[in-house]
Amino acid sequence: MGKNNQFEVAIIGGGVSGTALAYILNQYTNIKSIKLFEKEKELASINSHKNNNSQTLHFGDIETNYNLQKAQNVKRAADLVKNFVLKYDKEKKTYSKYNKMVLAVGDEQVEKLKKRALEFKKLFSKNKIINREEIKKIEPKTVEGRNEKEKILAYFSEDGYTMDYQELSKLFIEKSNNVEVELNKKVKNIKKNEENFEILFDDGKMVSSKVVVVAAGAHSLLFAKEMGYGKDLALFSIAGCFYFVPKSLTGKVYTMQREKLPFAAIHGDPDVHESTQTRFGPTAKAVLLLERHKYKTFWQYLKTTGFQWKTIISFLNINSDPIILRYILKNLLYDLPFLGKRLFLKEVKKIVPKTTIKELIYAKGYGGVRPQIVNNKTHTLDMGEAKIIENKIIFNITPSPGASTCLSNAEKDAEKIVDFLGKGYSFDKKKFEKDFVCGPECGEEEEGNESRTISKDTVLSFG
């Protein structure tokens, strides 16, 4: 095999996770040969595409299913992305900035939101609780038509970002001058030999790499299983759908998360590039696919189950929870003609009470698949990040929450990769943190400060 087909690191998957890793390896490590392969004709055209996700940069403030520790981790991760786009995207191709809030309705939700705001006060010092009159000034349509006796309260921030993660992926590669990218390159299989990995493509081409990172969403678990890894894991694929309404919100409005539900509550968002409409969703329904609307991935999905009884037991156990079962069945009804749209309208009216059935338009072709990990040992859903790390290979199945953690996830992988490669390889974590952890307000450090790097001889923590 020629040197042109040998690499130090090969990345499989050109979505926001794979491209973020390519960027960090290129800019903050001394790795020389990095190659990224993407099976589609364009980068980030599956789950990172703007039509296939909620376009949200999650900070953990209005996501009321996050506890304080989770919010701290998510905020740091989101700040990395925010500081990156503020530094490099002066034309705002990757994002739009809006206000945002989470809306509490009724005595019980209002009291919960007050307590949460107090608990999160130090972490989000600029956020504030606003009452009905203040809500009406910022988001008038959330108050219009609402019963005046109905108690409402909101937790508000001016620092909301709607993201085009496909454009962000392209920007990562634009800033990665030494990374080779090959599109329309579908991996057939990955094999480990004594020293390297051999990656075979469906066109017959083969390349070799010392380290491999598979950042291919739900397909990552398929590759892992084919190599004998992740035997106790399966996928619970959740597909999200959206509806459009003529512009009814000035920013993002979330509803309070339903207890014990691992899936996001309905929210209203401005589109990242289209200010004349508001998008409501997502709905959530289970599908036996690895990619939305691609029915040929049905067989691949079955392969990820391992064809094991314990996977079936896990699915039965998960769906036996009456809260989850009711939620799944309700979301299936949203797809029914005539009835589905009217049922979803009730959810939208919780945010914008005067929305009419004529205004509600199904967003055809929108919505992707979010793979939730099923743990076949505990027969439960494993919420959060799903990653398999083996000897010199990493499988990223789903970051958490979504693309918001792409740089943080890539940071962890970069640390592990230089450890894999061994002596002589380093990751300049101090420079990375200086560039993106605290943003422009950090200022310049004094000259002459020695850069701290992470190498094979450094103790690493991957918590």
Q: How far apart are CA 180 and CA 184, in angstroms?
A: 14
Q: In whole angstroms, what is the distance from residue 62 CA to residue 43 CA?
A: 30
Per DSSP bridges, beta strands 380-382 and 152-163 are unpaired
> Residue 114, class by beta-carbon neighbours within 10 Å (0-12 exposed, 13-18 middle, 19+ buried)?
middle
One digit per residue, pLDDT tens: the chain, 463 residues? 556 799 999 999 999 999 999 999 999 999 999 999 999 999 999 999 999 999 999 999 999 999 999 999 999 999 999 999 999 999 999 999 999 999 999 999 999 999 999 999 999 999 999 999 999 999 999 999 999 999 999 999 999 999 999 999 999 999 999 999 999 999 999 999 988 999 999 999 999 999 999 999 999 999 999 999 999 999 999 898 999 999 999 999 999 987 767 677 899 999 998 889 999 999 988 899 999 989 999 999 999 998 899 999 999 999 998 988 888 888 889 888 889 999 999 999 999 999 999 999 999 889 888 888 999 999 998 876 789 999 999 999 986 688 999 999 999 999 999 999 999 999 999 999 999 997 555 544 333 333 333 333 322 222 2
pLDDT at 1: 55
Q: CATH 3.50.50.60 occupies which residues in the chain?
A: 1-55+164-232+383-463
User: Looking at residue 439, what is its pLDDT?
Assistant: 56
Which residue reads 């619970």 in tokens?
A: 236
Tell me what pLDDT residue 453 has.
36
Residues 6+ apart with CB under 8 A from 353: 142, 144, 145, 146
Work out the angle between the directed axes of helices 165-174 and 16-28 (0-180°, nearest 10).
20
Count the residues in the chain: 463
| Residue 293 CB contacts under 8 Å (≥ 6 apart), including other chains | 365
Contact criterion met (CB below 8 Å) for 434 and 424: no
pLDDT value at residue 192: 95
Q: What is the pTM of this model?
A: 0.92
Distances (CA, A) of 98 to 138, 162, 166: 11, 7, 19
pLDDT of res. 401:
84
Pick the CATH number of 1-55+164-232+383-463 from 3.50.50.60, 3.30.750.200, 3.10.200.10, 3.40.50.1000: 3.50.50.60
CB 63 within 8 A of CB 404: no
